Structure 1
């Protein structure tokens, strides 16, 4: 296993990791609950540093807004940033916030729901920290889009910019300025996020 470092994560590579089953990866993560771990489609393991306090505060505000909408509109299930999903390409990713339609969630067995659910959320949000490389996050958003996310937001507080990715749309819509609102559109009907909450 060869470790290397990107700006904010330790990357583990090696032939053994390519043979690691989903169950073995799940067990590996359970043995290290203090770490935030993802896996790429090539079975590289990414171990990421904890988020900074300001980013954690913003993420909490985002989850509160999504939670309020979710309680009033019980059309599916909402998840926090510690939730992993096994995507169709074999990667395991954890968005900062996500939502899955009820029919998709209920199609899983209890065992699947208890592990890294084998599905792509319908809606995801990635919230950039001040030190995140936006181009890397934009690539991650394309991964979400390719794996089936119907609506995905990349929110960058440092530049007060939001990028909206939609299924079947080649380029994201760019929303500039945190005086704007984002709409859940037909995926999260009537949900609106005031970006000013994330300043």
Structure 2
């Protein structure tokens, strides 16, 4: 199976400042930086996966617009995590009080915060191992809830702080639990 994430060898490590310059000069490229400073180039979504991801983001955005409990983000948003990594989940959300605690300058760039909630959507060619590692990294850096949606096998891995990963087989919907109170992701059009 092909791994769609291109990993640059260790010799190509970049500092946070270098990453910011590289990302600014290449806005159409999906880049991430690991905790160790390694640069990762992520491929663009194909049409089908892009439409599914837009559906997830739209459902999250509509719920958030109604509740005004936080800020919802799409897959183009990178976050500077406490461990130094800069990652971009496919969809994410931050509680309003945490977002408002950031300065205006911090909000403009790669915000120095880990989202409270993250979603990663497996594309047809994605390898699960790097996605699982990324989900664990979010949780270790402060995410309270995360969903790894595996469309290929119609499974969802649910990540929570302090708990083992829960695997759901062909769920119809997902609950935002007490993190995103009242949010339910309808998976009918995601599968």
TM-score with structure 2 length normalisation? 0.95
Gapped runs of 5+ residues in structure 2? none
1:187 is aligned to 179
SS of residue in 2 equivalent to 1:155 = strand
1:196 is aligned to 188
1:106 is aligned to 100
1:7 is aligned to 3
Quote the Cα distance in structure 2 between the aligned partners of 1:49 and 1:80.
Answer: 16
Q: Which moved more, 1:137-146 or 1:36-45?
A: 137-146
**Number of equivalent positions:** 190
Question: Which of 145, 154, 175 is the equivalent residue of 2:168?
Answer: 175
- Displacement of 1:15 after TM fit? 5.4
Quote the Cα distance in structure 1 between the aligned partners of 2:34 and 2:95.
Answer: 24
Q: CA RMSD in A?
A: 1.4
Quote the Cα distance in structure 1 between the aligned partners of 2:132 and 2:7.
Answer: 19
Closer, same or farther: CA 16–76 of 1 in aligned 2, 3 Å: same
Could you list the structure 1 runs, at least 4 aligned residues long, displaced by more than 4 angstroms after superposition.
Answer: none
Quote the Cα distance in structure 2 between the aligned partners of 1:13 and 1:161.
Answer: 32
Instruction: Kindly report which structure 2 residues correspond to 1:49-198, keeping only aligned pairs within 5 A, or say none.
Output: 49-169=43-163, 171-178=164-171, 180-198=172-190
- 1:144-172 CA-to-partner distances (Å, cap 9, x unmatched) read 11111000000011111001101111x21
TM-score with structure 1 length normalisation? 0.91
